[in-house]
Amino acid sequence: MSATLLRIHPDNPPLNRIQQAVEVIRKGGVIIYPTDTVYGIGCDIHNAKAVERVCRIKGLNPDKANLSFICHDLSHISDYAHGITTPIYKVLKRALPGPFTFLFEASAKAPRQGGRQRKTVGIRIPDNPIVLQLVRELGNPIMSTSVREDENTLDEYVTDPDLIYEKYRSMVDLVIDGGFGNNVPSTIIDCTNDDFELIRQGAGDIEQYL
């Protein structure tokens, strides 16, 4: 099996190409796609087998993997996360779409991991037209993790879609070429204690939105 390489214009993604990618996700496929930071590997959050496959590709334990949910707007977030107070919501509204992952307590609707209810969810709304349109057309979030060059190195990311395709073509079903990606990941902010605790400094500066 070899993945399809699908080139999509990064600023004006044609709907027919987006729908082609959505069809792959709906059938339980795993895809690679651009975000506003590094390229991501993802699938439908409600397809447990596809989520396990994403974890296998990354060498992660599905029971413990901290995968993010990519949503297309703030309305999705309250479906899967608890404890979003008005002050936090106002910051999210200013900061998103943007290069952040916000951690919240998981709601009962958040998909289980390895048969167990997850405790937290990481929410992303990337400032990237391709992935936002993808999630909008799909109708629910995508489970996501980053594409790395070397799993033993925390900050080595592949930025060239052709190189990503060469590396992952036998592991995934579709690679979207949306132009060169960045090599700085999202900033991770923990909001589970009704505050904004910096877990990882990445491409986003949360201070300017507080």
**For residue 155, what pLDDT is reported?**
59
Going along the chain from its start, the domains and CATH numbers come out as: 4-200 (3.90.870.10)
Position 63 scores a pLDDT of 80
Give dist(CA 21, CA 36) in Å, integer: 18
Check residue 150 and give its pLDDT: 66
Question: How many angstroms separate the CA atoms of 121 and 107, rounded?
Answer: 9
Q: Whole-angstrom Cα distance, residue 7 to residue 165?
A: 11
pLDDT value at position 83?
84
Q: What is the pLDDT of residue 157?
A: 83
Cα–Cα distance list, 109 to 65, 115, 118 (Å): 18, 13, 10
Contact predicate 192/105, CB 8 Å: yes
Question: Could you report the per-residue pLDDT of 149-175, keeping only the tens digit for each?
Answer: 765 565 568 899 999 999 999 999 999
Q: What is residue 111's predicted lDDT score, i.e. its pLDDT? A: 84
> Residue 122 and residue 102: Cα distance in Å, rounded?
5
State which amino acid sits at residue 45: I
Asked if 141 and 71 count as a contact pair (C-beta separation under 8 A), the reply is yes
pLDDT under 50: residue ranges of the chain: none
Task: Specify the pLDDT at position 144.
Answer: 94
CA separation for the pair 42, 51 (Å, rounded): 8
**pLDDT value at residue 118:** 81
